[in-house]
Each structure stands twice: as structure tokens, then as C-alpha cells.
Amino acid sequence: MAIVELKDVWKTYRTGKVDYDALRGVNFKLEEGEFTALVGPSGSGKTTMLNIIGGLDRATKGGVYFKGEEITGWSLTRLSQMRRENIGIIFQSYNLIPVLTARENIELGLLLRNWNPQDARKRADELMEAVEIADMANKRPDEMSGGQQQRVAVARAIADRPALILADEPTANLDTATGDSLLRIMEKLNREEGVTFLFSTHDQRVVDRAKRIATIEDGVVVKDEVLEGIGA
């Protein structure tokens, strides 16, 4: 089943008196359980595409579907609810709350989803073990390295077991060893929990592990290939 589908999606931005088409008639379908890399040069439309899929931005025209239901015209409130219940987002800049500890950053989203506090604490502790930062539980972001912060961001994104993870350049600021470790963790989540991943990336390490690679140039998906056996 397609978890996401874009049908002839355009996104136009106005800069001064000039219109700029960030996406130009994109057609794209993401199936449940995929581990897909979206690649292309800077300014090609990768982040715009992820933002539209995640309901963070709206298409100028065309259809956006989530689990078969068109969400193109949904209100911001309804989009926010859909995102909260179904999608985890991993940002390149981490977007952790600086005054909260690692554990509290992970717990917060669960508490906002009405989890019991004890269950939220248990889930946060489980995830910190899974992403190998259990010893960072009581550290704030400014007390952690970039790699440790990104692991917290991954744990936060997957905490409520979303159907889809959107990851925008998740390894861009990480060294080779940390990036590889994080990718292994995400592969395991994909393989064992069936979480669907869509990465926007320039990183060859992500591309090498992807099971599908979609290439976008100048707002158009120009190539889309499934790679059997990759990422195993």
C-alpha cells in the first residue's frame, strides 16, 4: 500500500516580483516499509518535497495523498494532527529543546500525545538504549556532541511508532563512525519494526544503504530506481 503519493505536484514561491517553481509536476509514490533516498543537488527541491509530504508546507497545485486519502486541502490543524499521529521528522539541525534533557526531549512528544507519564519514561529509556545514548539521559543538548543530539532526535522521531520517518540530511553534520552507527540503527527500525523511511540526502553513505533511490533535479523527479539487495 502507498503510504504517500504526490500527483503532478507543483510548489511555487514568490521572491519579490518573481515566481520560482521549486517543484514542477512531481509524481512520486512511497510504499509502506521502504527505505528510500531522495537525492539531487542543492536547490533541486528535496527539502520542499519532504515538507509537503509532512504537511509542513502546501502544494501550489496537484494532489498530495497520505494512506490513500487526499490531504491537499486540509486545514493546518488537521495537517498537524495527521503529522503528530503518523509522521516522525528528523531535522538536520536536530531541533531539540535546549532547556530539556535528552530523556525529556523524547518524553515530551509522548506526553503531548496523552501517554501516561510512566509509560512515556519507560519508552524514552528503551529508545535511548536502542540508539546507544542511555548515559546521556540527563544531559541537555549543549552538553552533548552533534552525533549524540542527532540520536536523541531519532529517538524522539520514532517514539510513538510513526508509520513514516522523514529525515532531512540526518547525517550531514556527523563524522563517519557516528553516521554509520546511526544508519545501522535506522535500518534496524526499518527491518524489525516496519518503519518507512524517506531521506533527503547528499551523503553517499545513505545512498549506499538505500533500497530505492529517487533523483530530483530542478524540481522534477528525473530517475527512480529500486535496488534489490541494497541496505541488507
DSSP H or E stretch at residue 83? helix 76-86
pLDDT in tens, 75-128: 989 999 899 889 999 887 888 999 999 999 999 989 988 899 999 999 999 989
The predicted structure's pLDDT at residue 228:
62
Calpha distance 108→120 (Å, rounded): 8
3-state SS, residue 38? strand
- Report d(CA 100, CA 117) in Å as an integer: 16
For residue 36, name the pLDDT band (cuts at 50, 70, 90). Answer: very high
For the chain, percent of residues with pLDDT exceeding 70: 98
Q: Which band of pLDDT confidence, cut at 50, 70 and 90, is reported for residue 232? A: very low
pLDDT at 192 over 60: yes
> Are 137 and 103 contacting, i.e. CB atoms less than 8 angstroms apart?
yes
131-150 tens-digit pLDDT:
889 999 999 999 999 889 98
Cell numbers standing for residue 215: 533523483
pLDDT > 90 fraction of the chain, expressed in percent and rounded: 63
What is the rounded average pLDDT of the residues 191-218?
92
Centre a 10 Å sphere on the Cβ of residue 48 and count the other Cβ atoms it contains.
22
Calculate mean pLDDT across residues 144-161.
89
| pLDDT tens digits, one per residue of 52-80 | 999 999 999 999 999 999 999 999 899 99
Give 213's pLDDT tier (boundaries 50, 70, 90).
very high
Domain range list for the chain: 2-226
Fold (topology level) of 2-226: Rossmann fold (3.40.50)
